């Protein structure tokens, strides 16, 4: 993600952020409940996260994850380049989500 931002590849930065958040969520679910989302949509993982990761911030972080995943459609499927600001916004969201996820894996 950071490399893509340094290269000014905003779409790649957003996609890397989404993959980081999804992988972090998979790690949380495996660690806390020995489950992985097998749903058709990446958004199915939101319910699993709130169900299995018992933490005061989980609901808020699930909403953050939703915001991060919303960037995937824009970066992967829409016929437009994302902006630098969008890439930096998703970077900030993802860094905070990743830090929280790491703290729940200890």
Domain count, the chain: 1
CATH number where 97 lies: 1.20.120
Q: What is the pTM of this model?
A: 0.92
Do residues 66 and 46 lie in contact, with contact meaning Cβ atoms separated by under 8 Å? yes
- Radius of gyration in angstroms for the set of CA atoms belonging to the chain, rounded to a whole number: 14
The boundaries of the domain holding residue 73 are 2-103
Q: Directed axis angle between helix 10-33 and helix 84-103, to 10°? A: 20
Token readout for 6 is 């340094």
Which of these, 84, 82, 50, lies nearest to 66 by C-alpha position? Answer: 50
3-state secondary structure 81-101: CCCHHHHHHHHHHHHHHHHHH
pLDDT digits (tens, 9 = 90+) for 43-61: 899 999 999 999 999 999 9
Token readout for 17 is 């952020």
pLDDT digits (tens, 9 = 90+) for 2-24: 999 999 999 999 999 999 999 99
């Amino acid at each position: 993600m950071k490399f893509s931002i340094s290269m000014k590849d905003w779409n790649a930065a957003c996609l890397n952020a989404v993959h980081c958040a999804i992988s972090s969520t998979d790690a949380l679910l495996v660690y806390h409940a020995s489950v992985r989302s097998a749903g058709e949509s990446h958004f199915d993982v939101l319910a699993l996260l709130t169900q299995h990761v018992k933490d005061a911030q989980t609901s808020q972080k699930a909403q953050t994850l939703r915001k991060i995943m919303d960037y995937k459609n824009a970066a992967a499927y829409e016929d437009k380049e994302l902006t630098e600001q969008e890439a930096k916004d998703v970077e900030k969201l993802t860094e905070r989500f990743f830090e929280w996820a790491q703290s729940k894996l200890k």
